[in-house]
């Protein structure tokens, strides 16, 4: 098992701990609120902390409401590939887009807002869903001398999964702190996400 002792060259990546993904939100992830105190305990241990924030314009192409006759959780094909349709969530400036009120954000040096282009969704903290358009996170971490990324947050089977996989793609070591994540888990998607992360060398710490 790799040494998980936290180093100055490590980054804690806190993914999408926002009201719409928590209890009472429009796309609530089961038991999501339980990870907030766990993340708050982790944050002070890291010299570099980055938050991601879903930040969709109204009428975003990933919203089921933007497509006549479509329901949330159906899939459609968009120019960049298959896209799951979601309930309207994390609309820019809304209460649902705000971070969980008990999430300690003061330790973060950077907030990456993603999904703000209306025609393309963005799960990963590193790339939009075309897997080509970057968020700029790679360059930021490289400039800070980061070598390893610890991933926590929501949802395990979507934004956390793709962020961890892309961290490896970008040349970083990656660790999933599974106890500080929760997933939507549609049709076994949590297990599929864990398998996909392991396949590319993400260390799973339960």
**Does 20 qualify as catalytic in the annotation?**
no
Nearest residue to 167 (alpha-carbon basis) of 189, 191, 135, 130: 135
Q: Name beta bridge partners: 11.
A: 48, 149
Give CA–CA dist 48/95, Å, rounded: 27
Structure tokens that stand for 150 in this block = 């610890």
Helix (H, G, I), strand (E, B) or coil at 111: strand
pLDDT in tens, 95-137: 999 999 999 999 899 999 999 999 999 999 999 999 999 999 9
Distance CA 124, CA 160 (A): 7
Q: What is the pLDDT of residue 2?
A: 77
Q: In the numeric block, which tokens belong to residue 152?
A: 């926590």
Q: Which of 11, 22, 90, 159 is catalytic?
A: 159
H or E element, residue 138? helix 137-143
Q: How far apart are CA 141 and CA 134, in angstroms?
A: 13
> How is 72-124 classified by DSSP, letter by letter?
TT-EEEETTEEEE-B-S--BTTSGGGSBPTT---TT-SEEEEES-STT----S
Q: What is the CA radius of gyration of the chain?
A: 16
Report the C-alpha gap between 179 and 155 in whole angstroms: 12
Is 11 marked active-site? Answer: no
Strand, coil or helix: 134:
strand
What are the pLDDT digits (tens) for 39-94? 999 999 999 999 999 999 999 999 999 999 999 999 999 999 999 999 999 999 99
- pLDDT tens sequence across 158-189: 999 999 999 999 999 999 999 999 999 988 99
Q: Of these residues, 10, 11, 16, 181, which one is catalytic?
A: 16
Cα–Cα dist 125/136, whole Å: 9
Q: Is 16 a catalytic residue?
A: yes
Phi, psi angle pair for 192, to nearest 5°:
-65, -40
Q: Are 177 and 204 in contact (CB under 8 A)?
A: no
Active-site residue identified among 114, 151, 157, 166: 114
Query: What is the predicted pLDDT for the residue at 1?
Result: 63
Are 86 and 92 contacting, i.e. CB atoms less than 8 angstroms apart?
no
């Amino acid at each position: 098992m790799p040494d998980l002792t936290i180093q100055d060259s490590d980054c804690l990546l806190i993914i999408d701990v926002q009201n719409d993904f928590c209890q009472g939100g429009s796309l609530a992830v089961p038991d999501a609120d339980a990870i907030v105190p766990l993340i708050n305990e982790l944050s002070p241990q890291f010299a570099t902390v980055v938050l991601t924030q879903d930040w969709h314009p109204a009428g975003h192409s990933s919203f089921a409401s933007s497509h006549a006759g479509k329901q949330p959780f159906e899939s459609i094909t968009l120019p960049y590939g298959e896209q799951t349709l979601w309930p309207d969530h994390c609309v820019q400036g809304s209460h649902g887009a705000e971070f969980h009120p008990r999430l300690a954000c003061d330790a973060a040096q950077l907030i990456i807002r993603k999904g703000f282009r209306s025609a393309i969704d963005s799960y990963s903290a590193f790339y939009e869903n075309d897997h080509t358009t970057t968020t700029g996170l790679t360059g930021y971490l490289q400039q800070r001398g980061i070598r390893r990324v610890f991933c926590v947050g929501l949802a395990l089977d979507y934004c956390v999964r793709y962020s961890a996989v892309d961290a490896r793609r970008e040349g970083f070591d990656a660790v999933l702190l599974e106890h500080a994540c929760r997933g939507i888990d549609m049709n076994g998607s949590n297990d599929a996400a864990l398998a996909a992360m392991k396949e590319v060398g993400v260390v799973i710490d339960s």
